[in-house]
Chain A
Amino acid sequence: MSAHAHDGPRKGMILHGGTKLSDYFIFNTDHKVIGIQYFITSVFFFMIGGALAMLIRAELLTPNSDLGNYLGDGYEYNSLFTMHGSVMIFLWVIPILAAFANYLLPIQVGADDMAFPKLNATSYWTYFLGSVVMMAAFFVGRPAEQPLLWNIAVALVAIGTIMMLFGTFRVVGWMQMVGISLLSMGVFILWGPTAAAGNITILLTVLTVLMFVIGGRFGTERTSAYVLGCSLLILALCNLLGGASLGIPGAAAGGWTAYPPLSASQTANAPDGQTLWIIAVYILGMASQLGAINMIVTVARMRAPGLTMGRLPLFVWTVLAQSILVIGGTPVLGGTGLALLFERLYGMTFFTPADGGSALTYQHLFWFYSHPAVYIMVLPAMGLISEIFPILSKKPVFGYKAIAGSSMGITFFGFLVWGHHMFTSGMSPWLLMSFMLGSMAIGVPTGIKIFNWIATLWGGKITINSPMLFALGFLAMFVIGGVSGIMLAAVPFDLHVHDTYFVVAHFHYVLFGGTVFGVYGATYFWFPKVTGRMYNEPLGIIHWVLNFVGFNLAFLPMHWLGMMGMARRIGVYPEEFQYVNQLSSFGAFLLGIAAVPWLINLVWSAYRGKEAVGNPWGGLSLEWQTSSPPPIENFPEVPTVTHGPYDYGKGIKPPIVEELPAFQPIPAPAAD
């Protein structure tokens, strides 16, 4: 970043800061705008992932196949749960946490932005690109043999390329946009189940990245808006064309883990969908890595004067821990994905045992990333509720050092326990043993957090409102998920329930009961800060009740199903499981409905809610010491920190609780 970084709302030609709605739709370097971009995009994908979950549960209402099984190989159901898992993990949970980290972290450390604002915007748009590629898989399939369509496609590619290039170099935005759209239309019609498909995607990716670079360098800021428009158009057009010309939609169906040899096979399931899936995961991983680098440097270099590491809000600690996990884990997934991609596209051999490869190596590499990834998915959510508890019970957090330190402990141990996903894959007994003990040991730092949260609440003046209810929900549900996790860490038990619904129950208690509950709570908690308006409390409580009941109804019975022996990833099951499955499905539908009051609340309150003050909860950390929403540079002047974020009961008056109009900086608090 150059030394003359912030000259007003714009930096050169790139937009910085959101003052009107359209500012949120383009390449914008303001971390608050980027946070909101992440938020909206990932909530959109949450809805898609949720819709897929509803379809899964609808299919499981009866023991036989209801949703269709055209090829007789169960492909439809396989792709349902694969895409459900992938969308939820890569397009919802990880990015929604990035949304909170982007919005809150710079404010919480008292900085005016992230360390590398352009890189930050690039992370978001990389994520966006990855999500488009992942979604595109739904619309590619086996192209019908239609010569007319073929000719049209070739013509589209040719015209599209010329227009795009011309538009880019002469900075004629509409031409660039139309060009890219025509090009992609053509490409997607031409799509066949061949290696060429992969090459074209890589090419498209490179082109789009080039567009960004060129757009940012020479174009007007509107160029990026066109790129966004194009990506959306690609999706829409693929949808249309997919419906018109292609047979069966071909999303990946190898599970979210994409184990070879199935995922390396050129013929099984949907070959192009699987290829696209790998490319999408690679791109999404890049986005995470860029984000992690940014977070670490921001915390290391941009803390306000007086904000020592020991005074950092706990959320910052968890983001720091998460970023370390991303830096160590995600590149390994990237390297493994590349190998798998080359195996698919260029006839190379890494993981297919029949050709001399090693499927087990894939599992080791995959879980070396994906076990840390479960902490990538839960640590920041723990950070979010670590903010909610002390502030809403007006007590200093119990064991600040223990909570902060346990995040680092989890990070360290997180890299050493991946083998617990592979107990049935075959490994030497002494390895089984050490992975088992390691996995159980990781329960210790997690337990430390739980007990410290409870001790924080103990005897506090607890405000029971929507954020607090969800944080309490997190606590309760996460304990259940944690306990079933310890059970699964025991080899003898895991050998029985591996790949059954017990595992599905376990990780939903952690991911939904933990992370999603925490995120729900956080959306209420920081809603006044972000929007300058208050959410609707009764609606929030309705949301919580529906959610809590629906969640437990949907997932608690799955423990039984698993113990009874029902395998996961099956759409057709023995009749004796039907009753429990129906119970679970009804819970799931309730859970689906539960999202409605949340969405209504977010949208309605953002426009019609009561005006909020700068510090509605009486928080002591920095984000509560500026207006709601904060000004573009976050603080009118560099804040000085004189106390910890949760130093309640030490005579420090929570700053500013009076009403203040939006965008008015609030004077810094008087220190004691």
Chain B
Amino acid sequence: MSSHAIPLKEATIRNRQGLWLFFLTEVFLFGSFFVLRFSLWGDTRPELEQTAGLIATFVLLVSSLAMNRAEVAIAHGDKTKFRNNILVTFVLGAIFLGMILVYEWGALLGLHGEVLGIPVGHILPGDGVYGSVLYLMTGAHALHVLGGLVFIAITLFKGMRGDLTVKDHFFAEACALYWHFVDLVWVFFYPALYLIGHVVDIH
């Protein structure tokens, strides 16, 4: 009968292509948020907590590095190294998410004052175009990070159960690619939200 059993290599190529096409749709989705950012904010931006932004960005970038090490480890069948690195990725990702929630969404979550010496966020989604775009962009990104954390957890679980082999570990590859993609989006979001334009009083 015709191509009934698809060879592993071929299946992997198809999955990989599908994944990249999915990223392409995501590029256009995030692109529409960019258009909103630049058309509604122009060369202004609200005041955000710079220290928190810088640390969060750094944390996310380091997590990508750990993710890469985890992927390389599973490709070589090194389970311990895989586990350690993917755990680091998970923790760093969770820290990033927490920082966004506290230092950007703080006002919405009812926080006041400072957490760990850094002032919490003071902007609400109802604060005109500034609050709206900020929450739309960080929210969309945070949802992707959350999805990534779930993805990482499943990868860890699969890896430890022995489902990911040296020959067949596309799942880990997909997880890593997805995580890098989410990081890359932030690399563009961070300057758009934190750096470009001059600060204006949003109230």
Which residues of chain A have a CB within 8 Å of any CB of chain B?
1-7, 111-112, 115-116, 119, 289, 292-294, 296-297, 300-302, 327-332, 334-336, 338-339, 342-343, 346-350, 355-358, 361, 364-365, 633-638
Report the minimum CB–CB distance from B107 to chain A (whole Å). Answer: 14
Asked if residues B128 and A365 are in contact (CB atoms below 8 Å), the reply is: no
Q: List 19 A-B contacts (CB under 8 A).
A: A3-B11, A6-B5, A116-B14, A116-B18, A289-B25, A300-B17, A301-B10, A301-B13, A301-B17, A327-B24, A334-B32, A335-B29, A339-B36, A348-B126, A348-B136, A349-B126, A350-B136, A358-B40, A364-B39
Chain B at the A interface: SS class: helix
Asked if residues B39 and A358 are in contact (CB atoms below 8 Å), the reply is: yes
Closest 9 CB pairs of A and B: A335-B32, A348-B132, A331-B29, A331-B28, A293-B21, A361-B39, A332-B32, A638-B2, A331-B25
Asked if residues B18 and A350 are in contact (CB atoms below 8 Å), the reply is: no
Chain B residues with CB below 8 A from A332, complex form = 28-29, 31-32
Asked if residues A348 and B11 are in contact (CB atoms below 8 Å), the reply is: no
Asked if residues A346 and B125 are in contact (CB atoms below 8 Å), the reply is: yes
Docked pose: A425 CA to B36 CA in angstroms: 18
The chain B residue sitting closest to A346, CB to CB, is B125
Q: Give the interface centre of A5, A349, A365, A636 by most chain B CB atoms within 10 Å.
A: A349
Chain B residues with CB below 8 A from A336, complex form = 32
Choice from A112, A302, A331, A342 contacting B32 with Cβ under 8 Å: A331
B151 CB-CB contact with A under 8 Å: no
Asked if residues A342 and B136 are in contact (CB atoms below 8 Å), the reply is: yes
Asked if residues B4 and A348 are in contact (CB atoms below 8 Å), the reply is: no
Asked if residues A633 and B4 are in contact (CB atoms below 8 Å), the reply is: yes
Chain A residues with CB below 8 A from B140, complex form = 338
Docked pose: A1 CA to B25 CA in angstroms: 20
With A1-B11, A112-B2, A327-B28: A297-B132 Cβ-Cβ less than 8 Å:
no
**Binary contact readout B124-160 vs A (1 if CB under 8 angstroms, 0 otherwise):** 0110110111011000100000000000000000000
Docked pose: A84 CA to B68 CA in angstroms: 51
The chain A residue sitting closest to B17, CB to CB, is A297
Asked if residues B36 and A350 are in contact (CB atoms below 8 Å), the reply is: yes
Task: State which residues 12-42 of B face A: CB under 8 Å.
Answer: 13-15, 17-18, 21-22, 24-33, 35-36, 39-40
Total interface residues in chain B, CB < 8 Å: 41
Asked if residues B136 and A339 are in contact (CB atoms below 8 Å), the reply is: yes
Asked if residues A350 and B29 are in contact (CB atoms below 8 Å), the reply is: no
Chain B residues with CB below 8 A from A339, complex form = 32-33, 36, 132, 136
Asked if residues B6 and A5 are in contact (CB atoms below 8 Å), the reply is: yes
Chain B residues with CB below 8 A from A302, complex form = 3
B8 CB-CB contact with A under 8 Å: yes
B1 CB-CB contact with A under 8 Å: yes
Docked pose: A261 CA to B133 CA in angstroms: 17
The chain B residue sitting closest to A6, CB to CB, is B4
Asked if residues B40 and A4 are in contact (CB atoms below 8 Å), the reply is: no
Asked if residues A1 and B15 are in contact (CB atoms below 8 Å), the reply is: yes
Choice from B3, B10, B36 contacting A112 with Cβ under 8 Å: B3
With A1-B6, A5-B5, A112-B2: A347-B125 Cβ-Cβ less than 8 Å:
yes
The chain B residue sitting closest to A355, CB to CB, is B128
Docked pose: A355 CA to B132 CA in angstroms: 11
Docked pose: A116 CA to B19 CA in angstroms: 12
Given A116-B18, A294-B18, A331-B25, 18 more contacts at CB 8 Å? Answer: A1-B14, A2-B11, A3-B8, A5-B11, A6-B1, A111-B3, A293-B25, A296-B17, A297-B17, A327-B28, A329-B28, A331-B28, A334-B32, A335-B32, A339-B132, A349-B131, A365-B32, A634-B2
Chain B residues with CB below 8 A from A346, complex form = 125-126
Asked if residues B29 and A297 are in contact (CB atoms below 8 Å), the reply is: no
With A1-B6, A343-B132: A330-B126 Cβ-Cβ less than 8 Å:
no
Q: Give the interface centre of A4, A293, A302 by most chain B CB atoms within 10 Å.
A: A293
The chain B residue sitting closest to A286, CB to CB, is B25
Q: Give the interface centre of B14, B35, B126, B132 by most chain A CB atoms within 10 Å.
A: B132
Docked pose: A294 CA to B14 CA in angstroms: 10
Asked if residues A356 and B21 are in contact (CB atoms below 8 Å), the reply is: no
Chain B residues with CB below 8 A from A335, complex form = 28-33, 36
Chain A residues with CB below 8 A from B5, complex form = 3-6
Report the minimum CB–CB distance from B34 to chain A (whole Å). Answer: 9
Asked if residues A357 and B129 are in contact (CB atoms below 8 Å), the reply is: yes
B110 CB-CB contact with A under 8 Å: no
B162 CB-CB contact with A under 8 Å: no
Docked pose: A123 CA to B106 CA in angstroms: 37
Asked if residues B1 and A633 are in contact (CB atoms below 8 Å), the reply is: yes
